[in-house]
Structure 1
Amino acid sequence: MIIGAGSAGEKILRETLVTPKINKEVVCFIDDDLSKKGRRIHNVPVVGGRNEILQQAEKYHVDEIYIALPSIDDKEVSEILNICKETKCKLKKLPGIYQFLNDEITLEKLKDVEVQDLLGRDPIKVNLEEIMGYVQDKVVMVTGGGGSIGSELCRQIAKSHPKQLIIVDIYENNAYDIQLELQRKYPKLNLETMIASVRDQNKINDLFAYYHPDIVYHAAAHKHVPLMEDAPHEAIKNNVFGTLNVAKAANQYGVKKFILISTDKAVNPTNIMGASKRLCEMIVQSFDKKSKTEFVAVRFGNVLGSNGSVIPLFKKQIQNGGPITITHPDIIRYFMTIPEAVSLVLQAGSYAHGGEIFVLDMGKPVKILDMAKNLIKLSGLEPDVDIEIKFIGLRPGEKLYEEMLMKEEGMQTTPNKMIHIGKPIELSHDFFDQLDHLYQVAYDEDSNIRKEVHQIVDTYHYDENTTHGVKQ
């Protein structure tokens, strides 16, 4: 079945007819334009609009559905896909208008439908010229440049003609992958890839002294909530003191903009990872008060498809025949794609005057259970028949829902209506003394570390009986 009886759909049909090795037969078209109903395209009937999809898929014993609608918006596509997913057919779609305009419509160009295609909101649009304007001809450093967010930052920055791009990462495999990719795509890019830990103050200082970056995106962090609950000292050493090291170097070596990648888990945190990122935001806001560098943070929700996120996990579980494991039937999360998250980070950087926490309006939160069911259906299977869904209980420090802003942060808008600014929070005058004390606590492997973090981040709530990751 092809959905879309326009020229894109016709080209796909024609390819199946003229290429003998394509062993596929198009049996019908679906199109919402009722004037097309009853017509035939190369002898294949147009059988009706979207409300006919389920009935016609059954009637014609359809195995695969191709969505050939290059010019409709994502919201429309998601409505159609949400009908298609009930058919147990394999779904593929034309990526978009670009392929259509460039006459690149072939079966090869069709992509599998991903669960994010069902989210039903238009992708976040950013003004690329603004981004280009402040990255072009600048020396840009990305810490954690091999990670999911860091590597996409590097891709988008590389497009914007920086004077030099420096990738800093402690994990050599990821750094190597993005290095090879960028060298292949941008042979003229002045690219440096440095293996270094943000915990190593001397090494970080050396890198800043040598390269003198104009802009720093600080994406290096431990981010897995359950793992950090078991290793709270590591979360603090890496996230908090890694950020402090990079912020100190940025201040000392005259960086123009420092952009911290933060998370919605920093809001009223219930886990040590979120509390550590809240401390990072506080470091950024403190430095902004005393530095010529513009220090800002960008906070967003869960990133679809990032390392360790729920989608790759669910896909693996489906491949293994199930079960899909979910902590709680009511758990909800805000989601965005990696390119959206990164374009937000880049645009927020262009708005930055210093001290702001930028927050993305991520639309409506998504129920993880619905996501799991949709993913099973997109695989042509039936939830709880072919693949079991199993509830395993909330993990330590996990919330049913994430908040994007604290109440006291207030809200301001920016020229991009999807990006908001939170008002800086007042910090204690002895904040840096408190950090010195926390440093000792972390490196002494003190079992009171959660209590010590709560002394500084009073919005952090934890279970006082928790002894995960603490030597007894």
Structure 2
Amino acid sequence: MFTPIQLLLSAQRKNKRIISIIYDLLAVTFSLYFAMALRLDTFNISFGPEEIACLVITGGVTVFCFVKLGMYRAILRYMMMPAIGNIFIAVVLSSITLALSGFFLQAFIPRSVPFIYSGLAMIMLGAPRIIIRTVYYHYYRRQKPNVFIYGAGSTGRDLAYALIQGDEYHPVIFLDDDPKKSGQIITGVKVHHADEFARLKSLYQPVKLLLAINNINKGDRLRLLDKLSTWPIEVQSVPSVEDIAAGKALATEVRDLDIADLLGRQAVEPDFELLGKNIIGKNILVTGAGGSIGSELCRQILAQSPRKLVLFELNEYNLYSIHQELTSLAQRQSFNVEIVAALGSVQKENRMTKLMVNNAIDTVYHSAAYKHVPLVEDNIIEGIRNNVFGTLHCANAAIEAGVKNFTLISTDKAVRPTNVMGASKRMAELVLQALADKGTSTCFTMVRFGNVLGSSGSVVPLFKKQIREGGPVTVTHPDIIRYFMLIPEAAQLVIQAGAMGHNGQVFVLDMGEAVKIVDLAKRMINLMGMKEFYDGQSDEGDIEIRFTGLRPGEKLFEELLIGENVEGTSHAKIMTASEEKMNWKEMENTLKELDQHCHDFEFEYIKTMLKKLPINYKPREEVRNDQ
């Protein structure tokens, strides 16, 4: 049944157009013949020169109209209502041409013939195109898996149309919470109320549910996702209308739900005056520019139009990647910014000083650090060298180079640390505070926040990978909780906090509500259309959640503040903390002793020393030997 159609569809474009033109001329001829036959009630009709001239003119005008209306550029298998409308316009013009040519050429064309001709031509010109499209659609859609679309608005309509034309999925129904839309037919797909999901799922067997709602507020979207997480189907979303219009994504580009949706985290709008205060028209240096936070800082800084942006990074590939990305972005957005890529280690003070002096740096964002808790726990010396002494060398270089503002990106793990990474970051804070109290022209500020979503160490990409591989999803403890923040939001708040600080201030970002990690794992499993089960309890499910135990130095609960001396600032999401400090003399002696222990690889002495310092370091487990 489909072989002739398949042969036609597989023909070359040029041949298809020739076939279409020949058919249309024949259709016009037969439409006129049958119109005359119906009018005269006989098939015995003779055409004279005048009638043949009318036929030639009418056929030529019809083909000309089809060409101008793009009918020979249209792909038959994808024809929809606009093409039918074009056929109607062409047929009307063809009928008018027939009547006028018959009148002026004095041909034997009865006055009712053009009307009869228009109906026949509409059928003969349009029907084959519709039949080919319908046959192809019903044949082809059987080869595509069924999907439901949640949302019968403009986004859902555009998605359904794109999917019907595409190769991946076949939309079978719309789901919508608006009872007024129930029963409507949109691009051939019926709208049902969301309450009918269970019945419709067993009927159509969809492989996933595509969320096509972009015009609701964050709260409503989160409540919707809470409901969808209880449905036994994988949920994915479609790009926003803005991303599609800007060419950043395709309408059919379904993707996993945004990590902000998974956590229920709503980003805070930035204060643009604070964002630009230490950046606009200035020379900026970002250490650790290739990391998760560092690279996002660079993107946010570039948008604030600095004079020069210096990217400092130890990893060659990461530096190359962020330099290429920012250079391309600057060209696309016409940013007049000089971007400098500099390889090196923050532990080389002379390198840092020369770099800052040669580039006349005004502001430094110090993001370079070893942040992976277990790795630093196993490599104490390098963790201390990079996080403590690296910060010291960067700060000394900034003072020497006359840098005006220096902002340290710290962590919530610096508060009552139970691991070396957190202890080293708290030490870095104390180093800058001691330098600030010593009196310098450089303003040192520290910004402390929790986990960022989507970073290299975040649990979200890890959980996604584990779920796709069939599990198990590994959670260290059933009661472990964490604070989360979006990377762009964290970077913006870091910049804003650095712009409002006084020398030696510690800023703490409002991380919102803490998230129970096991609940996050369960939510992700459910939204990927599967059911969780727990190790040792039951095997009735798809993905196992396995508890592996706390890692060395890991806490159940993260803190952002050491004491209760917390004050608000002009920004609703930024607080400042007053905590115990060390004077420069004490810090200088401490650093000398710590440096000697690192030089001699005396791990136990380092651990003992950290316990004695005013950083509240209490390790969970004994330190392992450095590699």
Same fold by TM-score, threshold 0.5 exceeded? yes
Q: Does 1:448 align with 2:622?
A: no
- Distance of 1:140 and 1:15 partners within structure 2: 44
- Of 500, 504, 521, 1:372 maps to 521
Partner of 1:155: 299
Q: How big is each residue's C-alpha offset from its partner over 1:332-382, in whole Å with a ceiling of 9 and x where there is no partner?
A: 111112111111111112222322222111111111112222222333333
SS in 2 for 1:249: helix
- Of 398, 415, 429, 1:267 maps to 415
- Distance of 2:200 and 2:248 partners within structure 1: 28
* AA matched with 1:320: E
Conserved? CA contact 1:54–1:86, under 8 Å: no
SS in 2 for 1:112: coil
Partner of 2:487: 338
Conserved? CA contact 2:288–2:368, under 8 Å: yes
- Of 571, 578, 586, 1:430 maps to 586
Q: Percent identity at matched positions?
A: 41
Report the TM-score when normalising by structure 2. 0.70
Aligned-CA RMSD value: 2.3
Between 100-109 and 261-270, the greater mean CA deviation after superposition: 100-109
Q: Between Structure 1 and Structure 2, whose CA radius of gyration is higher?
A: 2
Report the TM-score when normalising by structure 1. 0.92
* AA matched with 2:552: P
Conserved? CA contact 2:239–2:249, under 8 Å: no
Partner of 1:313: 462
Cα drift, residue 110 of structure 1: 4.0
Cα drift, residue 273 of structure 1: 0.5
- Distance of 1:413 and 1:361 partners within structure 2: 10
Q: Which stretches in structure 2 are left out of the alignment for 5+ residues? A: 1-147, 534-540
* AA matched with 2:616: T
* AA matched with 2:610: V
Partner of 1:234: 382
SS in 2 for 1:62: coil
The one of the two structures with greater contact order (alpha-carbon pairs below 8 A, sep at least 6) is 1
Q: Does 1:173 align with 2:317?
A: yes
Q: How big is each residue's C-alpha offset from its partner over 1:387-417, in whole Å with a ceiling of 9 and x where there is no partner?
A: 2222111111111010111124x22222331
- Of 259, 272, 284, 1:140 maps to 284
- Of 30, 42, 45, 2:190 maps to 45
Between 153-162 and 237-246, the greater mean CA deviation after superposition: 153-162
- Of 371, 375, 399, 2:555 maps to 399
- Distance of 1:217 and 1:185 partners within structure 2: 21
Cα drift, residue 79 of structure 1: 2.0
- Summarize the Cα distance change of 1:107–1:136 in structure 2 as closer, same or farther, 3 Å threshold: same
Partner of 2:272: 128
Residues 28-427 of structure 1 mapped to structure 2, 5 A cutoff: 28-49=173-194, 51-54=195-198, 56-96=200-240, 98-99=242-243, 106-187=250-331, 188-289=336-437, 290-384=439-533, 385-408=541-564, 410-427=565-582
* AA matched with 1:308: G
Q: How big is each residue's C-alpha offset from its partner over 1:202-252, in whole Å with a ceiling of 9 and x where there is no partner?
A: 211221221121000000001111111112121111100000000111112
Cα drift, residue 43 of structure 1: 4.2
Q: How many pairs align?
A: 466
Partner of 1:462: 619
Q: Does 1:25 align with 2:170?
A: yes
Conserved? CA contact 1:305–1:338, under 8 Å: yes
Structure (1 or 2) with the greater helix fraction? 2
SS in 1 for 2:532: coil
* AA matched with 1:12: L
Between 413-422 and 231-240, the greater mean CA deviation after superposition: 413-422
- Distance of 1:88 and 1:287 partners within structure 2: 57
SS in 2 for 1:193: strand
- Summarize the Cα distance change of 1:381–1:197 in structure 2 as closer, same or farther, 3 Å threshold: same
- Summarize the Cα distance change of 1:209–1:152 in structure 2 as closer, same or farther, 3 Å threshold: same
Cα drift, residue 265 of structure 1: 0.3
Cα drift, residue 52 of structure 1: 4.8
- Summarize the Cα distance change of 1:305–1:206 in structure 2 as closer, same or farther, 3 Å threshold: same
- Summarize the Cα distance change of 1:25–1:369 in structure 2 as closer, same or farther, 3 Å threshold: same
SS in 1 for 2:309: strand
